[in-house]
Each structure stands twice: as C-alpha cells, then as structure tokens.
A and B are shown apart, each in its own frame.
Chain A
Amino acid sequence: MAQDWIDIGATSAIEAGMAATVPVEGGEEIAVFHTMQGQFYALVNKCPHKAGPLSQGIVHGDSVSCPLHNWRISLATGEALGEDKGCTPSIAMKVEEGRLFLSRAAVAATRTQVPQKAC
C-alpha cells in the first residue's frame, strides 16, 4: 500500500504570509498557505464564490481574502466568513521535519468531488 502522505516540498519554500500552488493531474489545483503565525493550511485553490484563485489572495490571521471579489475564506475550514456563505474543500496536511505533506486520500478526492459539495 502506498503511503498516506505526499511530500510536496519544504516549509521554507513558502514565505510566511504567502501561498503556493500544487497542480493535481486530473484533479483540482491545491493552494498551500503559510500564515504569519507560522501555520500551514491547504485548500482547493478555488473560491466558493466565483472560483477565484485563493492562493493569490492576501493572507491575514487564519484567513485569506479572495483576489477577485474579496470574499474572506477561513484557512482552517474553507468556509466563507462574515456575511458570505459557501465552502471550499480543505485538504488535510501535516508538517514534519521541515517538510509539507498532503493527505493522499484528500488529494485523490479532488479528482471526483464537486468542490461545492465537499463540505
């Protein structure tokens, strides 16, 4: 059986306060966020509103503001914050010895799930 986690790179590859992208063959592109407080999160790189690339938004606290229409999305849950309603799937990940890992099952799920239904 293959391992449960996919190594996608070093923590040092993403500056705190920024995000990076990981395309998935046959699936949804994933955005990996590094908050100013040092946390890492991964979401499908699509705003629940109009599918804007969340990886290009401004990261603040534990949320990101979508670059298209400024919806604020929780990095922990993928849910739209404030007045807006909607949710983008969050991808389980872990940080170990300076490396970033995405859950293989969660990444694989992006190939089949319609993002809006996933949460």
Chain B
Amino acid sequence: MNAQTAVKSGDPAQTAERLVVIGNGMAGCRAVEEILARNPARYKVTIFGAEPRVNYNRIMLSPVLAGEKSFDEIVLNTEQWYTDNNIDLVSGDPVESIDRTRKIVRSASGREEHYDKLLIATGSDPFLIPIPGADLEGVVTFRDLDDVERMLAAAKSGGDAVVIGGGLLGLEAAHGLSLRGMKVTVVHLMPTLMERQLDEAAGYLLQSELESRGQTILTGANTKIIHGVEGKVVGIELEDGSRVKASIVVMAAGIRPATGLAKQADLECERGILVDDNMVTSDPAILAVGECVQHRGLCYGLVAPLWEMCRALADHLTDTPTGYHGSVTSTKLKVSGIDLFSAGDFSGGEECEDIVLRDASRGVYKRLVLKDNKIIGAVLYGETADGNWYFDLLKKEEDIAEIREGLIFGQAFTQGGNTLDPSAAVAALSDDAEICGCNGVSKGEVVACINNGAHSVDAVRGTCKASASCGSCTDLVEGLLALTLGDEVEQGAATMCGCTSFGHDDVRRLILEKSFKSIPEVMQELHWSTPDGCSKCRPALNYYLLCAWPGEYVDDQKSRFVNERLHANIQKDGTYSVVPRMWGGITTPQELRAIADVSDRYGARLLKVTGGQRLDIFGIHKEDLPAVWADLNAAGMVSGHAYGKSLRTVKTCVGSEWCRFGTQDSTGLGVKLEQMSWGSWMPHKFKMAVSGCPRNCAEATIKDFGVVCVDSGYELHIGGNGGIKVRATDLLCRVDTEEEALEMSAAFIQLYREDAHYLERTAPWLERKGLEWIKSQLLDDPATVPTLAARFYHSQQFMQDDPWAQRVAGDRRDLHSHLGAIGADQLEDA
C-alpha cells in the first residue's frame, strides 16, 4: 500500500486510506457523509460522477418538473461541501473499468485512481422497452436532470405527451407534464395503476382522480411501436392497433440495477450486485450500496432502504459493524392534492385479515392487512395522516389485538381521546420512527436536534434537514417542537405565504442587510419554494423593494394588483372607476366641468361622491382609460390613487376661514399634507383628515393620521380606522405649528412604510407594535423625526410623477389595448 512508502509528517491526506466512490448520487454521497460523521480522517475520498453537477435529491425531480421547485433547491451537497471535506469530485467523467488486481479505476477520459476501498453506488438505469421506435428523437426516460430538461423543452410547445408506465415515476412525470400544459396519456401494461404499491380499489380511486384532472389513463395497454416522422416521434401504436399521438414519449416502465461495471469486473451479480450484511461484494475491497445492489434476494428502488444501507456500510468501514438486515418500505406519491400512502404487503392471502374503511363522499379509502394480530400491509388513499403510525406498528411488528377495534380510525381514536390532539400522535411514535422520508431523519434525531437548540421549524430544517425537502412532514416536526419544548417554541412570525418560510419582518430586514435589489434575487437567495411566487408575496416584495430602494428599484408591473397596474378601480363587471385628485376635498367649476364632460363622453353610468370627499366616475372600459385621463389631465387634475395601497385622501373641514368655530386653517393644512404625501406607496391604503376644531367634522379620529386643530395648536392622532373594525385614533402628541404637524406626519408615514407588513393598516400595526413603541420611536430622540421625514421626502421625489400623465404620454400602451381581435368571418366554416 502506498501509505508505507509515502508517509510524511503525519499529513492525513498521505496517511489516510484511499476510498474511491463510483457514483455521485444520493447513495454515494450519503455513504460518504455517514463515514465522515464517524471518522473524518480515516479516508481520503474521491467521487466519480457521470452527471456534470453536484449531488442532488433525485426523488425531488418530480417537483422540479411540476414547477414547484428549482434545481438549486434540490441540491443536497454543494461544491462547498466537497471542498470543506477535502473530497475530490470528478464529475461528468464516468468510470469505465475496474482493475481489481492493481486496485485501480479508470475513467472515460483516461484518469486512473488507486483505491484501498472501492464503493460502487451506480444506482439504476431506466428500463427501455425494446420496441421499434424506442430510439426516436423525443423518446425520453425520467431519471436525471437532463431528462427533466428534455421534457420541459418539449412541453414548451405544448401538444400531446404519452407516458409509458403507470407506476410512481410515470405518474409523477405525467402530473408534471400535465401541469406544464401538455395533454397527457398514461399507458400502463397492468390492469390497475401502481399495482406494486396499491390494491385495486385504491388504484381505481387514483385513476378516477387523475382522469378528472384531464389525463387519459389506458390500463391493460401494451405499446407495440413508437411511430416517427423524419426521426422524430409522432405517436405510439398499441397492441390492439389503436394509436395515440404524442410529440414526446416518456418511458417510465421501470428501473434496473446498474450492474454493468460490476459484471465487467467479474463481481458476483444476479439482478443486482450481490452484497452481504456489511454491503461488501464478492471482493472484500469492494463495497456497493443503493439501488444497484441485491441484498438477501431483494433490490430496492426507494430512498429509505438507502439510508439504512449507508449506516451499515459506514459502521463497517469504521470498524464498528452493525449490519444491514433489509428494509420494509413505504411509499408516498408526490402529486399535489393526492394523498396516498402504502406500506408492506397487501396482496392478502390465507391467514390474512383485512380491515377496510371507505368514505365515498370524502374519497377516502383505508385498508389494513393483518396477520397474527400484526399489521403487515397498509394502503391509505385520501387521508394519510396515520400512515407513519401504521408503518411504525408494522416495522415493530407490534401486537395490535387490544387496539384492533378502533385501529382503522387512526391513532387519535385508539388512544381514547375524542379530540384529535396532534401532539399525542407524535408523542406515541417511537424514537426510531421515521419523520422525514426524503432525508432519512428519525424522531429521535429530530428531538436531539431540538434539544441542541433548534427551537423553530426553520432551525430544525437547517440542522438535521427534517422537512427541508418536500415539506410533507412539517406537521410532525411542529408537533415534536411543541412536545419537546412546550411553550418555548419560537413561533417564528407567520410566514409571508406558502412560497417561503420567512416572515415579513425577516424578508424586510434581509432586503436591507443583503442589498437584494429585485424580486427574483429575493426569491433565489431566500430559497422561495415556487419558481415565481404567488399573488400574496409578489406584491409584498414589490412594495418592500420600492420602499427600501427609492429611485433605484424599478416597479414591477407584473407584481401589481390590477388596480395599481391600471391606476383605476376594477368593478364587478370588469369596468373601472376613476377618481381624480381633489386636494383636501376642494374643487373648482372647471374641474367639475371636465369631470362632467368625461362622464358624458365615455358613457359613465354613475357619478358618486365618496367618503373621502372625491368624485368617482364609474363604468369606464380599460381601453378608454388613457383618453379619460388625458381629458382630466388637461383640466389640471392628476390621479387620485383611490385604487392603491398608497396615500388616498386628506379630508378637511372648512376651518377658520369660514367656520365660526374654526381655530386654525384646517383646509390649508389638509391641502399641504396631501401635496406632501400624494403618490407615496404604502403597506396599505392610508387616509388622513384635518378638523378645524374639536367638533371634528372631518372625522379625523378614525383616520390613519388625523389632525384636530385647537386654539393652542394641533393635536396629532394616529392609528384610526373606519373599516370592518372601527378603531378610534390614539393621541400621538400636540405640536404648536403647522410645520411641526407636517414634519411629524411625514415621520409617522415613513415609520409605517418601513416597519409595517404589507397589507397591514396602521390600526392593526399600532396594536401589534404598541402605542408606546411608536411613541418612543418618534418622540424619545429629537433627531429621529427629521431623519425619518427626510427619508420620506427623498422617496417622494421619485413617487410624485402622475401615473395618468405617463400613460397618456404612451407608457405601457399594451395594458390598455387588445392583442388582436377575431371577426366572425374568420370563424365561419370552423
């Protein structure tokens, strides 16, 4: 061995034994992780991978195809991991031969590597049905990222897709292609779908559900030929002569252990590479793990056995052998909206008993197969919450005689509680019960991780990886947090939406800290789970970025609600209402004439005085909006922003100039407030009012910011709301001059803009943060008000540009016109 001649000053890279791993997939990398966890210095590791990329979670390719995840989100080991652990990764260069006498592997590019121990983790190959046309362009398998990319490319131009194989993989491919807009036909040889995991009844329920989603399912169908034109697939022909057209055909008829390399090296193989309980092959220096092996006569194609094999392998390679004793497997289908769970043996037979529950109206089917008072198989459809519990009872071979009566109704029922207490369910799981199937994490590991300081779901995901992949076990992780910590669980502010695990405050803070400047950047860096967000998070992010980077961030129209995109209010019939700004609620005969003319000219069906002292013109079509605005602009009016999460109106009373009770120029102050703050985008709509005396005719005490004039000056009120839940304002402070009132208003607005969550009015914001917090922010340090106000004025420079005038000048004409029109003549003989 080299170590004898090459020993130098105890350098671990020189003294370590050389471990070469063939296969940079889930099994190969997990095995290395397990070894490193036991003894990081024992081996110098080199990993060969055929794919030109780092290790990713292959079972998450389905969500990538379906558009629910991006590739980056399914990466398991980043380049950093290889570097940190001093692992040589040779990617895109598959090993082509093994020289067992010289203990050397040789790659396609001619690279030779010596090993002391060799680990084969080549996984499996998709089974290509040997029929004519299988080599046509457009016939693909579903095994790696390249396959997914080929399917996505085909889906781009739409059309028909055929998936051969109605097993787990085939159905996930069909689901993804269907979501991508293709018309999908699944061709399955057996009479029912997923027959290896489901019994007939569940297979039928599944088939009906998929058909109702628009897929065509052909069972008992044998593909005879794949037809092509000019080398490209155009469809398939079945044994019975019928044809299905397709621009892409996905072969998902099964997988075969990849044994080619092992056979070539004369290792003993049957269906898979034969291994003993320590995962050692017929050559003591060569081990094998994962889907390529055959252990005690069985080959596995699921992920859970792989984790158990890797543990046994690592124990052996670090001289503490424990042995692998085979796995009982369970399955979940990763098709959104379909809950399906299956485990063990459900083929039935003598001495077996069935317990079946059907609830047709809810689409629920549950079947447990018992033998000698033990569960040996379970099939759940429509309601799978108890899957883990049944699976645990099955693996433990627990005697269920005593709970048999209520067994089918689930764990909560059998434990006597008539309320469904979720923590009781997780409490009853044993320590080695599997919580996270994607990452192979047991209950004991999650609890240990919580006890070591991971006090939130995010922290657990970040440490032991439980619920970090598909997220279907998040409930269980939350249950374990509650159970382990009681009230100490960090509730981690509610998340912004289902696309992210971050809350509003975290996102706002990170945008500033990390200088995120665009929506895609936020989504990328903060691991959004959807490719481009949803209708909740997109407008929120757009606002947060606009608020954080005034003058720099370019408003994203795609992330605006229709009203803010079209600068008018959509009505139930699809027309719009238009509200021109009337500063402080004051208007002129010329403005009124222009409004009347516009109403006539564009067929407005209603003209209404609003609660905010404005006129609202109803029934305008989106195509006419620019012309309406042009006329209103010509009369000197600008957008009233009655449609926006923005400064809406400043309502006033007539004040000291006219009113016999008036104490200050309330109308004048109202106009100044509106001129200062119009055009500013806010977390939610924002209304102000100024009353000239405590009689409060302008209703200032139910506004977001209200001013009540008194003889001695101005009372400033905050956090009022006249909406669903009426809230009277709280008094913020009293000031002596109009200038101070204006500055305090600007500072308050900016504090709200920078701190509140999107779609949070000032009233709930104030109640969440507390009046004292807001007061201390604004009043404790005399320097803060000018600073906040200055930030508001700065931002206003970029906001006070009338959006109507921009549109009148021709900006975004596409939003107001049709793409084209189809005349009756074009349809006559259709």
Chain A residues proximal to chain B, CB less than 8 Å = 1-2, 6, 8-9, 13-18, 20-27, 30, 32, 36-41, 50-53, 56-62, 65, 67-68, 70, 72, 74-77, 79, 93-95, 100, 102, 104-105, 107-108, 111
Q: Which residues of A contact B612 (CB under 8 A)?
A: none
Assess whether B531 is in contact with A20, with CB atoms less than 8 Å apart.
no
Complex Cα–Cα for A20 and B818 (A): 6
User: Distance in Å from the Cβ of A40 to the closest Cβ of chain B?
Assistant: 8
Q: Which residues of B contact A77 (CB under 8 A)?
A: 178, 213-214
Nearest A-chain residue to B178, judged by Cβ: A76
Complex Cα–Cα for A12 and B123 (A): 44
B494 within 8 A of A: no
B111 within 8 A of A: no
**Contacting B822 at CB < 8 Å: which of A24, A57, A72, A105?**
A24
Given A25-B821, A41-B181, A76-B180, check contact A61 B158 (CB 8 Å): no
Given A20-B814, A62-B67, check contact A56 B562 (CB 8 Å): yes
Ordered nearest first, which 9 A-B pairs have the shortest CB separation?
A17-B558, A65-B535, A20-B819, A108-B830, A56-B562, A67-B562, A76-B181, A36-B532, A58-B535
Assess whether A104 is in contact with B827, with CB atoms less than 8 Å apart.
yes
Q: Which residues of A contact B821 (CB under 8 A)?
A: 22-25
Complex Cα–Cα for A57 and B273 (A): 55
Give the secondary structure class of B's interface: loop
Known A-B contacts: A16-B558, A60-B534, A104-B830. Give 5 more (CB < 8 A).
A37-B531, A52-B574, A53-B570, A105-B830, A107-B827
Assess whether A70 is in contact with B535, with CB atoms less than 8 Å apart.
yes
Complex Cα–Cα for A25 and B566 (A): 25
Given A9-B819, A76-B181, A95-B157, check contact A67 B570 (CB 8 Å): yes
Nearest A-chain residue to B575, judged by Cβ: A53
User: Distance in Å from the Cβ of A45 to the closest Cβ of chain B?
Assistant: 9
B539 within 8 A of A: yes
Complex Cα–Cα for A104 and B159 (A): 16
Assess whether B181 is in contact with A107, with CB atoms less than 8 Å apart.
no
Nearest B-chain residue to A77, judged by Cβ: B214
Assess whether B574 is in contact with A9, with CB atoms less than 8 Å apart.
no
Chain B residues proximal to chain A, CB less than 8 Å = 67-68, 155-159, 178-181, 213-214, 530-535, 538-539, 557-563, 565-566, 570, 572, 574, 622, 814, 818-824, 826-830
Assess whether B179 is in contact with A76, with CB atoms less than 8 Å apart.
yes
Complex Cα–Cα for A24 and B819 (A): 12
Q: Which residues of A contact B533 (CB under 8 A)?
A: 60
Q: Which residues of A contact B181 (CB under 8 A)?
A: 39, 41, 62, 75-76
Q: Which residues of A contact B814 (CB under 8 A)?
A: 13-15, 18, 20
**Contacting A39 at CB < 8 Å: which of B156, B562, B622, B827?**
B156
User: Distance in Å from the Cβ of A67 to the closest Cβ of chain B?
Assistant: 4
User: Distance in Å from the Cβ of A105 to the closest Cβ of chain B?
Assistant: 5
Nearest B-chain residue to A78, judged by Cβ: B214
Complex Cα–Cα for A48 and B179 (A): 19
Task: List, sorted by A's number, 13 A–B pairs whose CB atoms are closer than 8 Å.
Answer: A22-B821, A25-B823, A25-B827, A26-B827, A32-B819, A38-B156, A56-B570, A58-B535, A58-B561, A65-B535, A68-B570, A68-B572, A75-B181
User: Distance in Å from the Cβ of A55 to the closest Cβ of chain B?
Assistant: 9
Assess whether A61 is in contact with B180, with CB atoms less than 8 Å apart.
no
**Contacting A26 at CB < 8 Å: which of B530, B820, B824?**
B824
Complex Cα–Cα for A105 and B181 (A): 19
Complex Cα–Cα for A31 and B343 (A): 45
**Contacting B827 at CB < 8 Å: which of A23, A32, A50, A111?**
A111
- Among B179, B558, B563, B820, residue most surrounded by chain A Cβ atoms (within 10 Å): B820
Nearest A-chain residue to B152, judged by Cβ: A37
Assess whether A59 is in contact with B819, with CB atoms less than 8 Å apart.
no
Assess whether B574 is in contact with A15, with CB atoms less than 8 Å apart.
no
Q: Which residues of A contact B561 (CB under 8 A)?
A: 58, 67
Q: Which residues of A contact B214 (CB under 8 A)?
A: 77
Q: Which residues of A contact B570 (CB under 8 A)?
A: 52-53, 56, 67-68
Given A6-B826, A36-B532, A39-B156, check contact A62 B819 (CB 8 Å): no
Complex Cα–Cα for A9 and B565 (A): 23
Assess whether A58 is in contact with B538, with CB atoms less than 8 Å apart.
yes
